[in-house]
């Protein structure tokens, strides 16, 4: 058999030494053939980034490869001298990291950074290097490569920056491209475009890709084979479709079962979180590291003896590290255990936005003023006990809407009707306690949602006493009740936030928002910073609490699958405008607004059978200012020249309560989401 491009054999990586020794990766073996895309998936802390660093020999002083070896094109990487290694990096193996800005030098133009690579690795003159740089920019499908050469990184959008980084990685024509979470932090449509680009490039140049991600959908889009890492060990490996369609390891099954999917909502399926958490003890255990979270685990069989990665019977190339895999029942989607719903409650509106707008005035250095429109003409309605999901890319105004509702900022036009009062211009300082108590918020970032100087108990006590006026004697009981509500042990009240996991902190934040039995809770990306298994548990908690307390929820998210799962009503924001709104079932079914269609086509869904390429990024958001016309016109494939960018689109009503703002007639609107 021919030697694969990259082969890891029994790779073990440790950080620290002696008592502080931490095993990040243990006995990892896999290979990547020439031109193949291999996906490495796992949750945070599973060691996936360490693998990339070990291959590049970038582990630093803290980490070391303590066993095993990495062979690249037949050469043991550990045997290379520093100068041989330098030649290898960049020329043969290139790396793309998560944050493009940290890979780009802010004080150098894109052109100089691109030209550096050929100038360093091959003896080329400047003119040739410039030609190469131009070619690379054209290849990553950036418009107007000539002017791009002269730009600085901060003048580019996130998607453009990541394209430049990819161009830099590919310019020396490496045979292996390592990508560590390259699309995390990008908007879905941009992510889809970047993934499609990488896929085209690797097919054209025969570049092998090691794609590291927590996002199963993204891996599913790009990869031929996939490996699942848990606690530093490869628990399952094989061809993509075999692993995703017929997962043999309980952990892989768990990961798949806790994902929401675009074509399923909570009426048909409840997310199934993986119970427990990875503990340090099980990480060090001799047997299966997943045993204490696995419901199939058998004492003595799964623990106490080393468990090997063994081929799955009847499936070539598919192996699994589980002694029970042959005895496990076939993988089925979790039973039709629907989440509790609030449909018994009569649909009456609790909050109505009418023509809501927000403009920020910016003083101009040259004198005079200019303004940025963050929100314009937003009409929305939230019904009691229901979930209104707000979807949009970064900068679409979805957070501005939430902040106006909560009084953290005030609107410049329009109104928000709440029980007959207009609260659009009522800042938080001018709101009565009663009003504040009825509208609460769950924040996005688990690291800054709780004050690191205050214990969990103090944070909750304060919320209870300020919003509910609970007396000192009753506070302790109220805190215990709140913790119980979010399924946390009462002892947690003594802990400081830095002693909690991200999921636990987000639960405390939910408890804090619910301290005074609010009517409306605004959740701004409440789970986007959490691992999928934790995310599922927090989503379920939110759903249960909503059903129990008849909460009305404004759920802000960029995750379409999650929105599909959670929402009763959906509103799609694009550059401050609502382009489509209505009942979730109607919005996610044809006809679509062209933007909705683009979003749906971009969702990386591991359950999708085809690896159809996503839409190309048809232009990027232009900086045109508060002008007339359809906000989406610049990126729209159905654009009617001379109409869309000039005249405000009319509102179409394909069905009751379903609104689409578009110049296309009802019959002309896109109806399928297959690639164009």
Partner 1 sequence: MTDIADIAPLAPATPARGGRRLRLTRAGWVGVAIIAFWTSMALLAPVLPLPAPNASDLAALANPLPSAAHWLGVDLSGRDILSRIIWGSRTVLTVAPIAVAGATVMGALLGLLAGYYRGAFDSVLSRISDVILSFPVIILYMIILTRFGASALNIVLVITVTKAPIIYRLVRAMTLELAGREYVAAAQMRGEGAAYIMLVEILPNARGPILVDVCLRLGYTTIAIGVLGFLGIGLPPPTPDWGGMVRETYGMISLYPHMAIIPCVAISTLVIGFNLLAVGLRRRTRRG
Q: How far apart are CA 176 and CA 181, in angstroms?
A: 16
Q: How far is the CB of 395 from partner 1 (least distance, A)?
A: 18
Q: How far is the CB of 230 from partner 1 (least distance, A)?
A: 16
**For partner 1, which stretch binds (CB under 8 A), given 54-62, 83-91, 269-277, 623-631?**
269-277
Which residue(s) pair with 659 in the sheet? 581
Is there binding between residue 343 and partner 1 (CB under 8 A)? no
Is there binding between residue 408 and partner 1 (CB under 8 A)? yes
Contacts 24+ apart (CB under 8 A), 498-501: 498/452, 500/456, 501/277, 501/534
Is there binding between residue 443 and partner 1 (CB under 8 A)? yes
Q: How far apart are CA 331 and CA 323, in angstroms?
A: 16
CA distances from 520 to 61, 344, 354 (A): 51, 18, 18
Is there binding between residue 490 and partner 1 (CB under 8 A)? no
- Nearer to partner 1 by Cβ, of 81 and 453: the residue is 453
Q: How far apart are CA 460 and CA 248, in angstroms?
A: 43
**For partner 1, which stretch binds (CB under 8 A), given 431-439, 558-566, 578-586, 655-663?**
431-439
Given a contact cutoff of 8 angstroms between Cβ atoms, the answer to whether 211 and 37 are in contact is yes
Q: Which of 277, 410, 480, 640 is in the footprint of partner 1 by CB under 8 A?
A: 277
Q: How far apart are CA 526 and CA 551, in angstroms?
A: 16
Could you tell me how many residues make up the chain? 676
In 10 A of CB 500, how many CB atoms? Answer: 18
Given a contact cutoff of 8 angstroms between Cβ atoms, the answer to whether 600 and 588 are in contact is yes
- The half-sphere exposure of 581 on its side-chain side, counting CA atoms within 13 A, is 18
- Nearer to partner 1 by Cβ, of 119 and 496: the residue is 496
Q: How far is the CB of 614 from partner 1 (least distance, A)?
A: 32
Q: How far apart are CA 507 and CA 501, in angstroms?
A: 10
From 321, 331, 325, 328, select the one nearest 236 (Cα to Cα).
321
Q: How far apart are CA 518 and CA 585, in angstroms?
A: 27
Phi-psi region of 402 (alpha: psi -120 to 50; beta: other; left: phi over 0): alpha
Q: How far apart are CA 637 and CA 644, in angstroms?
A: 11
Is there binding between residue 425 and partner 1 (CB under 8 A)? no
Site for partner 1 in 509-538 (CB under 8 A): 509, 512, 515, 534, 536-537
Phi, psi of 603 (to 5 degrees): -60, 120
Site for partner 1 in 493-512 (CB under 8 A): 495-496, 498-501, 503-504, 509, 512
H-helix or E-strand containing 18? none
Q: Which of 463, 553, 554, 578 is in the footprint of partner 1 by CB under 8 A?
A: 463
- Nearer to partner 1 by Cβ, of 74 and 275: the residue is 275
- Nearer to partner 1 by Cβ, of 195 and 545: the residue is 545
By the 10 Å C-beta count (0-12 exposed, 13-18 middle, 19+ buried), 549 is classed as: middle
- Nearer to partner 1 by Cβ, of 541 and 563: the residue is 541
Q: Which of 86, 126, 267, 433 is in the footprint of partner 1 by CB under 8 A?
A: 433
Q: How far is the CB of 625 from partner 1 (least distance, A)?
A: 26
Is there binding between residue 440 and partner 1 (CB under 8 A)? yes
* Six-digit token string for 203: 């097919």
Phi-psi region of 530 (alpha: psi -120 to 50; beta: other; left: phi over 0): beta
Q: Which of 74, 206, 317, 489 is in the footprint of partner 1 by CB under 8 A?
A: 489
Angle at Cα 397 formed by Cα 393 and Cα 398, nearest 5°?
Answer: 75
Scanning the structure block, which residue is given the tokens 């609502």? 578
**For partner 1, which stretch binds (CB under 8 A), given 67-75, 318-326, 461-469, 471-479?**
461-469
Scanning the structure block, which residue is given the tokens 């060691």? 47
**For partner 1, which stretch binds (CB under 8 A), given 111-119, 240-248, 454-462, 589-597?**
454-462
- Nearer to partner 1 by Cβ, of 534 and 600: the residue is 534
- Nearer to partner 1 by Cβ, of 454 and 616: the residue is 454
Q: How far is the CB of 89 from partner 1 (least distance, A)?
A: 30
Q: Which of 444, 596, 602, 620 is in the footprint of partner 1 by CB under 8 A?
A: 444
Q: How far is the CB of 491 from partner 1 (least distance, A)?
A: 7
# chain residues binding partner 1, by CB under 8 A: 56
Q: How far is the CB of 428 from partner 1 (least distance, A)?
A: 5
Is there binding between residue 279 and partner 1 (CB under 8 A)? yes
Site string for partner 1, 189-218 (x = CB under 8 A): ------------------------------
Please report the beta strands in 538-668, taking only residues with DSSP state E, as ranges in sequence order.
552-557, 569-574, 577-583, 651-655, 658-661
Per CB under 8 A, residues contacting partner 1 are: 273-277, 279-280, 340, 406-408, 428-429, 431, 433, 436, 439-441, 443-445, 448-454, 459, 462-463, 466-467, 487-489, 491-492, 495-496, 498-501, 503-504, 509, 512, 515, 534, 536-537, 540-541, 544
């Amino acid at each position: 058999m021919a030697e694969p491009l990259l082969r890891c054999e029994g790779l073990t990586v440790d950080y620290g030494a002696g008592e502080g020794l931490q095993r990040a990766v243990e006995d990892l073996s896999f290979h990547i053939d020439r031109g193949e895309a291999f996906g490495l998936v796992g949750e945070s802390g599973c060691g996936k980034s360490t693998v990339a660093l070990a291959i590049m020999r970038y582990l630093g002083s803290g980490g070391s490869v303590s066993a095993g070896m990495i062979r690249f094109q037949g050469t043991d990487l550990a045997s290379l001298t520093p100068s041989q290694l330098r030649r290898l990096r960049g020329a043969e193996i290139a790396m793309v990291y998560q944050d493009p800005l940290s890979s780009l030098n802010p004080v150098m133009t894109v052109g100089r950074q691109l030209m550096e690579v050929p100038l360093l690795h091959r003896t080329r003159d400047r003119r040739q290097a410039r030609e190469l740089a131009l070619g690379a920019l054209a290849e990553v499908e950036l418009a107007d490569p000539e002017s791009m050469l002269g730009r600085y990184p901060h003048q580019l959008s996130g998607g453009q920056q990541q394209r430049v980084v990819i161009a830099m990685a590919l310019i020396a024509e490496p045979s292996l491209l390592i990508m560590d979470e390259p699309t995390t932090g990008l908007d879905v449509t941009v992510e889809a475009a970047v993934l499609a680009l990488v896929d085209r490039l690797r097919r054209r140049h025969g570049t092998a890709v090691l794609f590291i991600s927590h996002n199963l959908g993204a891996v599913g889009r790009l990869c031929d084979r996939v490996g699942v890492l848990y606690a530093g060990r490869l628990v399952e490996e094989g061809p993509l479709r075999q692993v995703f369609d017929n997962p043999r390891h309980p952990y892989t099954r768990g990961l798949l079962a806790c994902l929401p999917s675009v074509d399923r909502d909570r009426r048909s399926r409840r997310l199934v979180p993986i119970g427990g958490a990875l503990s340090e003890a099980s990480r060090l255990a001799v047997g299966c590291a997943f045993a204490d979270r696995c419901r199939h685990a058998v004492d003595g069989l799964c623990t106490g003896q080393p468990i090997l990665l063994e081929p799955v019977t009847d499936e070539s190339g598919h192996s699994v590290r589980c002694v029970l895999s042959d005895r496990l029942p076939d993988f089925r989607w979790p039973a039709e255990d629907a989440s509790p719903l609030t449909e018994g409650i009569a649909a009456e509106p609790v909050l109505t936005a009418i023509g809501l707008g927000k403009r920020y005035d910016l003083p101009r250095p040259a004198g005079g003023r200019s303004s940025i429109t963050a929100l314009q003409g937003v009409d929305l309605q939230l019904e009691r006990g229901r979930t209104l999901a707000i979807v949009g890319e970064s900068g679409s105004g979805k957070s501005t809407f939430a902040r106006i509702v909560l009084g953290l900022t005030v609107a410049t036009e329009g109104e928000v009707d709440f029980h007959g009062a207009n609260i659009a211009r009522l800042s938080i300082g001018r709101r009565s306690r009663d009003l504040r108590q009825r509208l609460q918020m769950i924040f996005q970032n688990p690291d800054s949602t709780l004050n690191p100087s205050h214990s969990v108990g103090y944070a909750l006590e304060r919320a209870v006493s300020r919003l509910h006026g609970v007396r000192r004697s009753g506070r302790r009981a109220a805190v215990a009740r709140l913790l119980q509500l979010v399924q946390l042990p009462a002892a947690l009240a003594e802990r400081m936030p830095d002693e909690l996991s991200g999921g636990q902190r987000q639960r405390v934040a939910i408890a804090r928002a619910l301290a005074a039995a609010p009517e409306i809770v605004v959740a701004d990306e409440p789970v986007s910073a959490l691992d999928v298994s934790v995310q599922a548990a927090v989503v379920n908690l939110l759903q249960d609490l909503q059903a129990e307390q008849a909460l009305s929820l404004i759920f802000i998210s960029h995750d379409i699958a999650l929105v599909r799962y959670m929402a009763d009503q959906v509103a799609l924001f694009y550059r401050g405008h609502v382009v489509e709104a209505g009942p979730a079932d109607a919005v996610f079914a044809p006809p679509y607004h062209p933007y909705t269609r683009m979003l749906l086509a971009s969702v990386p869904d591991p359950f999708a059978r085809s690896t159809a390429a996503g839409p190309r990024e048809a232009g990027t958001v232009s900086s045109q200012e508060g002008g007339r016309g359809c906000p989406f016109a610049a990126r729209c494939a159905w654009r009617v020249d001379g109409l869309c960018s000039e005249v405000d689109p009319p509102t179409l009503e394909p069905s009751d309560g379903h609104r689409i703002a578009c110049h296309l007639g009802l019959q002309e609107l896109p109806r399928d989401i297959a690639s164009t």
